[in-house]
Structure 1
Amino acid sequence: MKRILFFLISDIIISLFTLYVAYNLRFNFKVPSNFIDNFFSIFFILFSMKIVVFVYFRLYRTAWRFFSLYEVKKILIAHVIVYSIFFILFLNFKENMQPLARSIIIIDFLLSLVFITLLRLSKRIILESGKGIKYKNTLIIGANSSVKVLLNDEKNKKYTPVAIVDGSDILVGTYILNLEVFGFKDLKKVIKNKNIEAVIISKEYSQKRLVEIYEILNELKITDIKIVNTLSSGNKKELKDIGVEDLLARHPKDLDKKQIENFIKDKVVLITGAGGSIGSEISRQCALFGAKQLILLDHSEFNLYTITEELKDSNIVSVMQTVRKIEFLEKTFEKYRPQIVIHAAAYKHVPLVEDNILEGISNNIIGTKNCIDISIKYGAEKFVLISTDKAVRPTNVMGTTKRICELYAQNVKSDKTEIVAVRFGNVLGSSGSVIPKFKSQIEQGKNITVTHPDITRYFMLIPEACELVLQAASIGKGGEIFILDMGEPIKIVDLAKKMIELSGRSEIKIEFCGLRPGEKLYEELLINDSDQKTKYESITVASPTIFDIDELNQKIEELLVCEDKIAKLKEIVPEFNHQLNLQ
């Protein structure tokens, strides 16, 4: 209201001033007295028309820093309309408006246009010149009033909204935050007409719609694209650059946060590998869903320190420990008595495990066996094994070790402890995954290296994958291997192209370097097609594999001491087809 009053009073003063100057310029500053007599009558007619037209164009509702070239255009059109109508009135009612020279109308038109425009531009000009901020005409996609709070943040003040585009027909033509709402069909026209330099996507859209929006923006050379992101540590929102994760990730539609909360709330939860990509996000989720106490266990000092600092306001205990030493684990379990154990600790990088087979076996198989055995001994209610799509018909040592972990989890005598495994594919942005690698190559100006033009992987965002892990674990009764629906597999070369596109570095090319030892072209999530449904579409259950537990234990002991470990792995997992050299 204060802004409207200020502009209204300012326009009165400016209009009086410009009309007075127009009269004086016309008569070389010696205005005849008879012309002065009807000065205020002319002013009243002109200004009344200005108010009506200015209100129609909503010129009194535009904030200082939101004033753009689009508003200048509206002021120009408004002046043309006002003075055209006034001129027509003058021609038709000349006798009633005499004395008045036509040149006065033209002079006043020019002066009024310049001064009223300058007033509205003044603060933005001062702000931009004073602070070095380049304000950007910004389009908001998605009618969402919460974006106003984000734009008030000092770091986001360079974004000046000038219009909103939304998919709701009901909202089209209305005004939100004093900005007109247009339909998606007008997206290209709005971007061109309003000189859009940046876009903020403030609503959550389907992947298909988001890609459609991005393709249009990319076609129109809009490179500054932000989305509203909810931080995983709470409900706080922030603006972030749109990334390949947003365009390509599979978003599950049946996340049941209430089910997860009922599973986690008021429980003592121990997470192994708590500082890793998956473990750290599960730790955050457990804190968010109200765990009574979190036991964060990791052998990496740096990783454990990082997640400890992040969650220091929660009730956590940090344990720097390896899962390979069962006697150390036992002391931790004896002290804290966890009700839920989530086992995320593992060596997962295929080439490194190929080069360090004994360490891979020791950490992945023995570490998992230790955690399961000690969880059973101390009566944990639930044990959750994080598994991988690489365990299905494995072609490498890492995948085979994880398959053996699944076999142990399914067949061990677990007493009251419900043991479940959750198998999923790649998550976007995890350590060692292709996205951080590609980002690093782009930042260094190097070409992106892809192993094979046809290689595909499943992808999901880390937070959503971890929520589905907890959701699957909550419905498990023991002995299941749950499979997360990771959506359609994505070609790695398409991901690379999209990352180059997002970076704006058109000089960067893609080079094919050949498959690495043990690497598959296509990942699988099932061993056969006889999987069972659950009440959630995104979660299915693999058929159980029966394996005598005493025989499995004996073979694991032999595996540790035998010379030919590959042969022994094949004996335990007959479907293991070791592809050592595919380059």
Structure 2
Amino acid sequence: MFKNKSKKLIFRILLLMLVDAMIITLAGPVAIYIRYNLLFEPRAIEFIEHIFRYLPLNLVITIAAFTACRLYQGIWKYASASDLVNILVGCLISAVTQTIGMTLLGLEFPRSYPFMYFVVLAMGISVFRFMYRILGYFQSRYVGGEKKNMENTMIVGAGEAGYTLLKEIQNSKFIRQNVCCLVDDDPGKRGKYLRGVLVAGNRNDICRLAEEYDIDEIMIAIPSATRGTVQEILDICSQTSCKLKVLPGIYQLVNGEVSVSKLRNVEIEDLLGREPVDTQVESIMGYVSGKVVLVTGGGGSIGSELCRQIARHEPKQLIIFDIYENNAYAIQQELKRNYPELDLVVLIGSVRNTHRINGVFEQYRPQIVYHAAAHKHVPLMEDSPNEAIKNNVMGTWKTAQAADKYGVSRFVLISTDKAVNPTNIMGASKRLCEMVIQMMNDRSKTEFVAVRFGNVLGSNGSVIPLFKKQIEEGGPVTVTHPDIIRYFMTIPEAVSLVLQAGAQAKGGEIFVLDMGKPVKILDLALNLIRLSGLKPYEDIDIKFTGLRPGEKLYEELLMSEEGLQSTENKLIHIGKPIEFDEDLFVHQLEELNELSKMDSPDIKKRVAEIVPTYHMEEKRQ
């Protein structure tokens, strides 16, 4: 097989040399005839005879020059500007050596001949080489003059990234895209052509051009654009029925990684309408280096991301504690694979088990604790309120007590915006957890803090994966209420906030992220359907199911009694704790513990007495 390939390569090179020899042979006479206006004058014939006398030497020298310039090593189907430069250099060497050689041999030629020979030879070699590329392009893109199942495509962005993307699409026989037009907001580019494709307008023309060119897919290639700019463009694109893909970020352009393979499907995160929160994690993560760190609920969405970030910063030991063995096993295998030097301990157990949690603290003596273990699904907890109290409240209290007993330096609770004016037992239980943290901070040398944020996109049970699955199954997409709104953030943002709290904690704070404007769930559903290339209510129906038990139309991040204190990061604030009788609260916790053990039907009423902002009557709207 190797021999066959070698034979084919040698045959290809010999064939190229033969064609080049023909072009070299013709270049001289053609140059002379052009010089004499294509007339067969005696003087012209005499010059041609001189050129043929020198021809054998010219062929040897020129072929050698072409070889030195790698004209027989290139893949001419993908010829580029650098290949053209090599052709020009080879032809220039041929013209110069021929001029010198014929002069030394006393062979006369017109003074303009060397230049005209160079032009004719360069044109002949270039046309032959690039004709190979042109034929290859048409062969890969067309069969019998007809396009093969190609999707009409629009590229937004006629800059460097757009050019590179367009070039790859046009050159690849594996990509079934036909780029019909380009869009760019630079007025100087409008009406011009990029690799033969018209820059037909700006972002305001996207909908019109999509219809005019019957566009199937829109590719956004503006890696330097801000999140706000991309969102504006996506808002326009979502009004079409086109599929959307976007080039991730400017680093792709800097690293030379702009390509079709780097395009990703547009995610709903792109439409949140704010820049990603930068908490400068790298600069503050030094405090975990060399420390023993415990993450409860370490197999969950937030917990596992916490473990990944912590593992990168060389803790002395990382302990993952989770009751769900499948989740714990998955993150264990990932961390072992990515951080083989990490001292990793994975333990199965429940934060509700006093003996188990105390045993973990006694044996491993963690210095930093991230408490992410909790039940979080609102409707499920409404039907099992005692479990919410056992796991969320009592689990937090027992873990916090163990942290105090065994000298933990910092304890960070993962809370939620549902703890603010809660209308469900899950939110009320998380508010009780915040109160536990506040109370423990006042009674312990351990620095206890809470971190409160909204819905986490991509986490287990979040609305986006549900919508995607419903769209894949053909619908309908279910939305509880047309006016329901929520704050959203990404998992990396949530984790970066938690880590920031751990680094800056002084004790007793509730850290709150400014998550911009809340998002309407119906708008998320509509946009996700459109971004999938489908039409709402036509291809995919939307069904309103009504608010679930304990669910409210909107979430808040702060109670009215709380104030906001700024931090160095303008998007992160600290809520002022609300004062309460801590001795009475401890007594109430003990009562709740007993009630939850008995699965008391009055558990919600008792919680409402402890958390005045818990409004049980707002179950449905």
**TM-score, structure 2 normalization:** 0.68
Q: Pairwise mapping of residues 57-136 of structure 1 onto structure 2 (< 5 A)? A: 64=77, 119-124=132-137
Q: Deviations over 1:251-280 (max 9, x none)?
A: 345422244322333322211111111111
User: Structure 1 residues 400-409 or 544-553, which shifts more?
Assistant: 544-553
Gaps of 5+ in 2: 1-12, 31-37, 49-73, 81-123
Displacement after TM superposition at 1:304 (Å): 0.9
1:209 partner letter = T
CA 411–302 in structure 1, closer or farther in 2 if over 3 Å, else same: same
Asked whether 1:429 is paired with 2:458, we answer yes
Aligned ranges 1:178-577 → 2 under 5 Å? 185=202, 199-201=219-221, 203=223, 205-218=225-238, 222-228=242-248, 239-248=263-272, 250-312=274-336, 313-314=338-339, 315=342, 316-412=344-440, 413-506=442-535, 507-528=539-560, 530-562=563-595, 563=600, 564-577=602-615
Cα separation, partners in 2 of 1:433 and 1:253, compared to 1, 3 Å:
closer
> What is the letter of the counterpart of residue 428 of structure 1?
L
Shift of 1:306: 1.5
Deviation sequence 1:223-265 (CA, Å, 0-9, x none):
241332799xxx9985421111122264345422244322333
Match of 2:321, as an amino acid? L
Q: Secondary structure at the match of 2:540?
A: coil
Determine the C-alpha separation between the residues in 2 that align with 1:183 and 1:291. Answer: 55
Cα deviation for residue 210 of structure 1 reads 0.6
Instruction: Return closer, same or farther for 1:126/1:173 CA change in 2, 3 Å cut-off.
Output: closer
User: Contact conserved, 2:299 with 2:327, CA < 8 A, in 1?
Assistant: yes
2: CA distance, partners of 1:199 / 1:161: 12
After superposition, the Cα gap between the structure-2 partners of 1:186 and 1:438, relative to the gap in structure 1 and judged at 3 Å, is closer
* Contact 1:276–1:303, Cα closer than 8 Å, also in 2: yes
TM-fit CA distance, 1:218: 4.8
Matched with 1:158 is 175
Q: Distance in 2 between matches of 1:146 and 1:430?
A: 36
Corresponding letter in the other structure for 1:423: R
Query: Helix, strand or coil: the match of 1:228?
Result: coil
C-alpha displacement at 1:447, in angstroms? 1.3
Percent identity reads 41
CA distance in 1, matches of 2:485, 2:76: 49
CA deviations 1:189-211 (Å, max 9, x no partner) are: 99999x99652536253332112
Q: Is the contact between residue 427 and residue 462 of structure 1 (CA under 8 Å) also seen in structure 2?
A: yes
Give aligned pairs, total: 494
CA drift of 1:387 comes to: 0.3
Check whether the contact 1:364–1:405 (CA below 8 A) recurs between aligned residues. yes
Cα distance in structure 2, aligned partners of 1:175 and 1:289: 49
Secondary structure class of the residue paired with 1:384: strand
Contact 1:533 1:541 in 2 (8 A): yes
Whole-Å separation in 1 of the counterparts to 2:482 and 2:276: 27
CA contact (8 A) 1:446 1:508 kept: yes
Shift in CA distance, 544/223, structure 1 to aligned 2, threshold 3 Å? same
One-letter amino acid matched to 2:557:
L
1:137 is displaced (CA, Å) by 6.8
- Letter of the 2:280 partner, please give it: D
1:172–1:286 CA distance, 2 compared to 1 (3 A): farther
SS at match of 1:393: coil
Q: Residue 246 and residue 112 in structure 1: after superposition, are their counterparts in 2 closer, same or farther (change >3 A)?
A: same
1:73-102 deviations in Å (ceiling 9; x for gaps):
xxxxxxxxxxxxxxxxxxxxxxxxxxxxxx
Equivalents in 2 of 1:426, 1:117: separation in Å? 56
C-alpha deviation, 1:307, in angstroms: 1.3
Determine the C-alpha separation between the residues in 1 that align with 2:203 and 2:362. 64
- The 3-state SS of whatever aligns with 1:537 is coil
Mark the runs of 5 or more structure 1 residues left unpaired by the alignment: 1-5, 24-30, 42-60, 68-110
* Partner Cα distance (1:494, 1:291) in 2: 42
- Answer whether contact 1:260 1:467 (CA < 8 A) is retained: no
Secondary structure class of the residue paired with 2:558: coil
In structure 2, the residue corresponding to 1:311 is in which secondary structure? helix
Distance apart, 1:385 and its partner CA: 0.2
Contact 1:298 1:319 in 2 (8 A): yes
Could you tell me whether the CA contact under 8 Å between 2:565 and 2:576 is conserved in 1?
yes
Aligned amino acid, residue 482 of structure 1: F
- Aligned partners of 1:278, 1:118: CA distance in 2, in Å? 56
Report how far residue 296 of structure 1 moved: 1.3
**SS of the residue aligned with 1:454?**
coil
Render the CA deviation track for 1:149-177: whole Å, top value 9, x for unaligned: xx79xx9973889899888999999999x
Give the direction of change, closer, same or farther, for the CA distance of 1:546–1:514 in structure 2 (3 Å limit). Answer: same
CA distance in 2, matches of 1:548, 1:380: 25
What is the letter of the counterpart of residue 365 of structure 1? V
Deviation string 1:403-431 (CA, Å, 9 cap, x unpaired) is: 00000100124532110001111111211
Matches of 1:156 and 1:302, distance apart in 2: 43
Q: Partner of 1:75 in structure 2?
A: none
Q: 1:140 and 1:521, CA in 2 relative to 1: closer, same or farther beyond 3 A?
A: closer
**Cα distance 1:112–1:218, how it changes in 2: closer, same or farther (>3 A)?**
farther
Task: Note if contact 2:412-2:502 (Cα within 8 Å) is conserved in structure 1.
Answer: yes
Q: Secondary structure at the match of 1:269?
A: strand
Q: CA deviation at 1:497?
A: 0.5
Segment drifting more, 136-145 vs 387-396? 136-145
Query: What is the deviation of 1:139?
Result: 4.0
The DSSP-based 3-state class of the residue aligned with 2:247 is strand
Q: Secondary structure at the match of 1:282?
A: helix
Contact 1:428 1:435 in 2 (8 A): yes
Distance 1:170-1:125 versus aligned 2 partners, 3 A rule: closer
Residues 340, 383 of structure 1: 8 Å contact kept = yes
Larger deviation, residues 356-365 vs 506-515 = 506-515
Structure 1 residues 256 and 443, CA, compared in 2 at 3 Å: closer, same or farther?
same
Asked if the contact 1:418–1:479 (Cα under 8 Å) also holds between the matched residues in 2, the reply is yes
Give the counterpart letter for 2:367 in structure 1.
Q
TM-score, length of structure 1 as denominator length:
0.72
For 1:523, the aligned partner's letter is: E
Post-superposition shift, 1:222?
Answer: 4.8
Q: 1:197/1:388 Cα in 2 relative to 1: closer, same or farther (>3 Å)?
A: closer
